[in-house]
């Protein structure tokens, strides 16, 4: 089966689900108060989309700021932990433990200190994205074969040469993976912060639409956020593939 | 042994720093570790707070229900898609794409549909746990060497025997990893649901303490829940290691 056929089957399946959904609402199997039909979601998509655009922009700004914080702190931390076995042995259990703790638990405290504004969501995004970055980069750095470094040194390579020719090509893929994974986590952190303690942004809008039983608006907002997130991830994947070819 | 001492030292340094910083700042917002035991005692004695055991039990049952559903659904869909190659090639990318969406966007819709009671938390915990289990089954099936299956079939093995003797050992370590991730995410799903809006459960108690600015009690609850989560994940890691040993 070729790629085109698979894509056609995928499109058909999605269409079939949407038609079945529409039919289920029309025939009264699903209550439109809770699950609106795709057609009614489509009707409000224009209005909700226009309303959502500035809010989405705000949420994405928070996401990007938190993302930048997480990368700036997480990549160096991961490199240090990955390249120093003693530091790794001492500190890694704590990093893994913090990685395992549900981050939402500390969110109320962040909100208590920083209020309901921009900084709470930014910090939340950073906290959600930081630990996956540290863990992934540390694991990637540890994978560098020490024998390669020894051989390069014995052949008279300088420190800069070793970093450029040996370390960078091996470490870069894990850094790029971390940068892709961190984006979804940062967006998750920003949205949760807005839902829990926000008065603006996309997460807040969705939470409010749910509590006000405005189902079509809520589903439209969900669709918009999903499409944006998937596009960002696909874009980063595409970038990764390009960089991979360059290497 | 030396490593353990260093680890302990690091923990002590972190706690001392935390205590020192907390003492300098507003005591309503910043709670030092020295206040945690007292707060924990107050939480357990349920002074000024909703009774903890009942809420904890509700959260545990929600997690159990969500996880059982996630495992059942994930195994079913995983094998359904994995054992038929064309079906898998059509639907696996669609499933993987959904993974790229920050999961919390689904929660408001679930809350609208299932209400503020336990059902919406179970649904969200199921939803989060379902994906890693499904994807791990799919990845596991791909790891089964096709030649071994062919050989077993040609030697007259029955489907069940092939599954038990050929497929299961080849898939086990991947699958168990997915089951462990699924459990962690089911826990996260239930906790997120409870914190974003509930009338009962541990998340509700945490929100209650936070809403009344009982920061010490809030911190004690967070430490308690985090420790429980880590303990559960540690048990999962032990089981995972056992299964990996068995599968070789």
Which domains, ranges and CATH numbers included, belong to chain B? 37-247 (1.10.3720.10)
Exposed / middle / buried, residue B37 (Cβ in 10 Å: 0-12, 13-18, 19+): exposed
| A148 in a structural domain | yes
Whether A71 is in a domain gets the answer yes
Given CB atoms, is B12 within the 8 Å cutoff of chain A?
Answer: no
Query: Is B201 within 8 Å of B53 (Cβ atoms)?
Result: no
Domain count, chain A: 1
Q: Please give the Cα distance from A59 to B16 (Å, whole number).
A: 36
Where do the H-state alpha helices sit in A27-117? 38-83, 85-100, 107-114
For B31-83, write each residue's pLDDT tens digit: 888 888 888 888 787 767 778 888 889 999 999 999 999 999 999 999 888 88
The predicted model gives B130-137 an average pLDDT of 92
Residues of A in Cβ contact (< 8 Å) with B213: 112
- Are B215 and A109 within 8 A, CB to CB? yes
Residue numbers of B between 82 and 121 with CB closer than 8 Å to A:
86, 89-91, 93-94, 97, 100-109, 111-113
B8 in contact with chain A, both atoms CB, cutoff 8 A: no
Task: Give the Cα separation of A37 and B222 in Å (integer).
Answer: 40
Give the domain range for residue A173: 44-246
Chain A contacts in chain B segment 194-233 (CB below 8 A): 195-197, 206-207, 210, 213, 215, 218-219, 222, 225-226, 229-230, 233
Quote the pLDDT of residue A246: 61
Report if residue A3 sits inside a domain. Answer: no
Q: How far is CA A85 from the centre of its chain?
A: 29
| CATH number (domain holding residue A195) | 1.10.3720.10
In this prediction the ipTM stands at: 0.86
Percent of chain A with pLDDT strictly greater than 90: 26
Check: CB of residue A48 under 8 Å from CB of residue A33: no
Tell me which of A40-54, A69-83, A162-176, A223-237 is least confident: A162-176
């Amino acid at each position: 089966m070729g790629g085109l056929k698979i894509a056609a089957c995928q499109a058909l399946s999605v269409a079939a689900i949407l038609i079945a959904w529409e039919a289920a609402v029309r025939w009264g199997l699903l209550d439109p108060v809770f699950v609106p039909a795709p057609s009614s979601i489509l009707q409000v998509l224009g209005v909700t989309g226009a309303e959502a655009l500035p809010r989405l922009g705000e949420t994405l700004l928070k996401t990007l700021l938190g993302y930048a914080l997480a990368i700036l702190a997480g990549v160096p931390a991961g490199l240090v932990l990955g390249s120093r076995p003693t530091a790794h042995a001492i500190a890694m259990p704590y990093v893994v433990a913090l990685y395992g703790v549900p981050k939402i638990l500390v969110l109320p405290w962040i909100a208590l200190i920083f209020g309901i504004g921009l900084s709470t969501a930014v910090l939340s995004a950073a906290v959600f994205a930081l630990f996956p970055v540290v863990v992934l980069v540390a694991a990637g750095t540890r994978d560098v074969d020490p024998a390669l470094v020894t051989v390069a040194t014995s052949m008279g390579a300088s420190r800069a040469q070793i970093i450029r020719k040996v370390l960078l090509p091996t470490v870069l893929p894990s850094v790029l993976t971390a940068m892709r994974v961190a984006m979804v986590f940062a967006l998750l952190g920003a949205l949760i912060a807005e839902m829990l303690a926000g008065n603006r942004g996309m997460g807040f809008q969705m939470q409010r639409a749910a509590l006000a039983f405005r189902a079509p608006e809520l589903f439209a907002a969900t669709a918009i956020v999903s499409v944006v997130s998937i596009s960002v991830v696909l874009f980063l994947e595409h970038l990764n593939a390009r960089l991979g070819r360059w290497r | 042994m030396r490593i353990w001492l260093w680890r302990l030292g690091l923990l002590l340094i972190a706690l001392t720093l935390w205590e020192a910083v907390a003492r300098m700042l507003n005591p309503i917002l910043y709670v030092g570790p020295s206040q945690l035991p007292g707060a924990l005692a107050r939480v357990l004695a349920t002074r000024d707070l909703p009774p903890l055991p009942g809420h904890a039990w509700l959260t545990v049952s929600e997690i159990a229900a969500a996880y059982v559903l996630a495992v059942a659904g994930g195994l079913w869909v995983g094998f359904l898609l994995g054992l038929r190659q064309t079906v898998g090639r059509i639907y696996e990318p669609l499933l993987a794409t959904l993974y790229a969406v920050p999961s919390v966007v689904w929660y408001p819709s679930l809350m609208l549909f299932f209400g503020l009671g336990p059902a919406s938390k179970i649904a969200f915990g199921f939803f989060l746990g379902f994906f890693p289990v499904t994807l791990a089954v799919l990845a596991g099936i791909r790891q089964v060497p096709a030649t071994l299956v062919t050989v077993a079939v040609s030697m007259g093995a029955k489907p069940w025997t092939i599954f038990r003797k050929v497929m299961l050992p080849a898939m086990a370590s991947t699958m168990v990893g997915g089951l462990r991730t699924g459990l962690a995410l089911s826990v996260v799903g239930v906790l997120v649901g409870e914190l974003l809006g509930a009338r009962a459960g541990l998340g509700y108690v945490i929100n209650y303490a936070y809403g009344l600015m009982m920061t010490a009690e809030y911190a004690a609850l967070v430490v308690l829940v985090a420790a429980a989560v880590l303990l559960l994940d540690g048990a999962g890691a032990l089981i995972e290691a056992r299964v990996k040993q068995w599968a070789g």
